[in-house]
């Protein structure tokens, strides 16, 4: 069932769980997510990063994700992750994405507000919700690499009021990619932001964070958790296992199916954490 992300996130916020948002690279990964969440009776969000959009094109990716989401038993939204400018946000909107993220976190506070508010205004006629980011999530996302910058609670409240965004990604010490050491998240800061911001909060960079820590983030106010690296690794591991078992395999459907099975197992595990 294809839906907009705000319907999922508002319910998650109200009932104190999180929606898993899973980065999709191909048809098999979308199918794996849909199969996993449909079996669990859980909602989900398909999302694509700018590098994936540039590689496959927004129209093709939207067609794959919208088709799989429409046929799924669970409600699924189609989301642009880390939209890197107004132009890409509008491409995704026109292609049929049902949720848009604009990431102006590299800009000044006022410029981030201006860009985010502009995207909100452009998406409003279509009823498409917008996610923005305040503070920086560390690590490497596509071709961009940055250090952590923690979100200030007072700035978060002002940012939401001035932009009208429907969800907010915050910086509390997470990073994209796998962690080299044990991550130290500022959970008190999360609680402070939750106390002054009334829209759903988003946690980026969740791959590799322990289940107990993620569950605590949900208890303190996170309504959406993004997973990317773990799914990419799972898909690649499935393909590698297929080729290692039979070096003569040449049919992409054979190793694609193994990749799909591996992703489905990973998504099942991650969804259970989100619903704890």
Q: What is the pLDDT of residue 136?
A: 62
How confident is the model over 164-172, as a mean pLDDT? 97
Q: How confident is the model at residue 149 (pLDDT cuts 50, 70, 90)?
A: confident
Check residue 139 and give its pLDDT. Answer: 46
User: What is the span of the domain harbouring residue 64?
Assistant: 5-274
pLDDT per residue over 39-60, tens digit each? 999 999 999 999 999 999 999 9
pLDDT band at 140 (very low <50, low <70, confident <90, very high): very low
What pLDDT is recorded for position 112? 97
Distance CA 123, CA 85 (A): 14
Asked if the model's pLDDT at residue 276 lies above 80, the reply is no
Report whether pLDDT(141) > 50. no
**pLDDT band, very low/low/confident/very high, at 174 (cuts 50, 70, 90):** confident
Give every CB contact of residue 73 below 8 A, 6+ residues apart in sequence. Answer: 1, 38, 41
Number of domains the chain contains: 1
- pLDDT score of 21: 97
> What pLDDT, on the 0 to 100 scale, is given for residue 190?
96
Residue of 6, 81, 103, 261 marked active site? 81
Residue 156 has pLDDT above 50, yes or no: yes
Q: Mean pLDDT across the stretch 74-94?
A: 97
Tokens linked to 87: 């132009």
pLDDT at residue 235 greater than cutoff 80: yes
Q: Is pLDDT at 148 greater than 80 in this prediction?
A: no
- Measured in Å, how far apart are the chain's first and last C-alpha atoms? 23
Mean pLDDT score, 127-136: 92
Q: What is the pLDDT of the chain when averaged over all its residues?
A: 93
81 is catalytic: yes
Hey, what are 198's tokens?
């009334």
Q: What is the pLDDT of residue 198?
A: 96
Q: What is the CATH number of the domain that holds 110?
A: 3.20.20.70
Q: How far is CA 40 from CA 1, 28, 35, 127, in A?
A: 14, 18, 9, 28
The predicted pLDDT at position 126 comes to 97
**For the residues 248-260, what does the mean pLDDT come to?**
96
pLDDT of residue 184: 81
pLDDT band of residue 207 (cuts 50, 70, 90) is: confident
Whether 210 shows a pLDDT value over 50: the answer reads: yes
**pLDDT above 90 covers what percent of the chain?**
87
């Amino acid at each position: 069932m294809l839906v907009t992300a705000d319907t999922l996130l508002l319910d998650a916020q109200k009932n104190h769980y999180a929606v898993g948002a899973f980065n999709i690279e191909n048809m098999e990964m979308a199918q794996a997510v849909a199969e996993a969440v449909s079996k669990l009776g859980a909602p989900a969000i398909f999302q694509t990063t700018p590098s994936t959009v540039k590689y496959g094109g927004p129209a093709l990716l939207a067609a794959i994700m919208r088709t799989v989401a429409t046929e799924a038993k669970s409600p699924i939204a189609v989301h642009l992750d880390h939209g890197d400018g107004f132009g890409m946000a509008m491409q995704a909107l026109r292609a049929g994405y049902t949720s848009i993220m604009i990431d102006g976190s590299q800009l000044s506070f006022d410029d981030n507000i201006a860009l985010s508010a502009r995207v909100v205004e452009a998406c409003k006629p279509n009823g498409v919700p917008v996610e923005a980011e305040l503070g920086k999530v560390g690590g490497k996302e596509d071709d961009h690499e940055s250090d952590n910058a923690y979100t200030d609670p007072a700035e978060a409240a002002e940012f939401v009021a001035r932009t009208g965004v429907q969800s907010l990604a915050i910086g509390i010490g997470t990073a994209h990619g796998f962690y080299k050491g044990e991550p130290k998240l500022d959970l008190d800061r999360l609680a402070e932001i939750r106390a002054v911001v009334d829209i759903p909060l988003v946690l980026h960079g969740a791959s590799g964070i322990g289940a107990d820590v993620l569950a605590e983030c949900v208890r303190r106010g996170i309504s959406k958790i993004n997973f990317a690296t773990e799914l990419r690794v799972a898909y690649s591991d499935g393909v590698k296992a297929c080729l290692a078992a039979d070096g003569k395999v040449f049919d992409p459907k054979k190793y694609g199916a193994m990749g799909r099975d591996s992703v489905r197992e990973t998504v099942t595990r991650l969804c259970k954490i989100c619903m704890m």
